[in-house]
Structure 1
């Protein structure tokens, strides 16, 4: 039984997603090392009938990026995975190739699929044993092949490691999850025949891992009926190679995007994951540092992590390679040069390639109210900078904050800025880009 039996209404947050740029990881435990070649096959030939949409779900976009790109990134960030084969319907080969080029995915090949799931996976496995013309691929076939659905983007490295190691040792390994519904058999007339004892059964999930020889031989020996009607790779390994797979209970993050409501859940998880962290740049100003410290306390209540740095020079430049958002604090001056400099650094680091990046400019005025208007740049100037940045997939927002001598009023204002900042980062609304918001 494939994982559709598991409850799609209970999505869980991935512990590590996304991490760093494509092909890189900001969270790679040193102990997770693999000393044998591992490759991945991602079957992505489905038509998405159950979503009720014209676009297959693997190509539906979140934050301007198709779902399958997030899944590819989940594997690219794992350093010990040497190559990825994406199998798509023949009519979608050009589309998939364009996605790979647009989002600069590496280690990825596209091959045409077959008429059924098993035929498509078989094509992917065969491609791993071939050298693509014009490409410098490893001449050795992988020791282990991991098979994973393209519409399960929230897979974590530590679980992939468990699957890869178990597959090498046992010949096959697969993820399982507890059943959340009782499975019954019906008669041809539509009446109850019998039910299964739920405690004895598990839902088969992805990823699954195999030694190359096991999965290759399984497909060489299986029948036309298996190709046409089968869906379970572990069963083929058992039936045709005598390989009894090691079953490993997986985390709830392995859920599959199956129905239309799952698309909304996936987008919500992606947005929330991207909104967890921000870097506050103070420019070294004492007032800005004080404000940033107050931000940290307020943001903690909003379950948001804030790091405070004076600039992005030296070691602080590491934030440019993280999946963080940025808050630039300026005090008592109207020049947008600090924001423009930050935007140049982000563009040079190619940070907005995979999803819209958020930059929030907070203008702190410590002057008297009569001079506030003189200290702020013209709204048109803010809009010009934001409009230009938006073309590069960077969303710029602006917040004006006046420092009050009334302690209680000041604390309320800081909390309000933290709430506005959190909402802007989470929602990434294009409609508010370039707008000057008052706190």
Structure 2
């Protein structure tokens, strides 16, 4: 790796990555530290193991950046297929941890393939969309792209790990950037509103609302002579979907998922049961005030009131010990990283690199947005970690690979014509 090549790496992304990983580790240390630990370097300590994963991730970064830039485009499909095989292999060789068969066990080390599948899927989507024969404005090409996205998600759901599978919805955004019609985004948004609205206020109100909106749009556009068959088909589909929500909610969702939705919607309060984590997380964040209680001085954190706080609920440690100011700093660092990735993606000469960059930004945003919404009680608990913060070697490596493949692609932008 020559100095010329190294000078082409985007050091803004690298510094933001290092800042987030460092701050994340300090919060993992605070959330998992106990006074009676004999030595800092005991691998039985959560923060020591995470530090080991961080050091190894730095070695991984050097490896990723040393690979020829064309490798990722040339072998993107093969990496994707290998990842699918790894996901399927879990049903035979996987290790069950906390009720989910999502890990391969190699002695003391466990790896979660779903964390690496995000980067593999991003490579596959980028390769497919950038193919000269692919046109994302065509329905048949859209279906193939959706199939590439759906396959890993379908393999992840029965592990069961619906939270990780939910992340694959983020791939809709890079497809939209490359020519897919915006109607898919609108339909997805409208379906989400119908689903939540039906649960919140009832099916008849929502079905009536959908009917009124559809008829109102038809009347508003009457001078354009709209296709009434299409309008009434969409209206019927929306009303039918609203009436199917309760069946899906009661027969497809597991009880724990129903409970979490009901808590967020205010239908039931279970501060000591299914809602305990979220309730304690909100207390921890709220108690931090403007400047926080100080590093390792959080009473909620030290008292272990938030179960498994070093994983999905790590942001509650930030809120309690660093306060509003520290929380906003973390949020701004994430926003800066996502915006930087988008800016670099837009300047790529290669469509492959651009699509991959948009995929990276979409995945990071989805994780960041949903996790903080989950920790603050805005969204139901769905088990989505905070990138570079939540404890876990597979998660850290997965996000590191995802991000630094793009750094390598961006550094090779000069070579594309």
**TM-score normalized by structure 1?**
0.22
Structure showing the higher helix proportion among its residues = 2
Which is higher, the Rg of structure 1 or of structure 2?
Answer: 1
Structure showing the higher strand proportion among its residues = 1
Higher RCO (CA-CA < 8 Å; seq separation 6+): 2
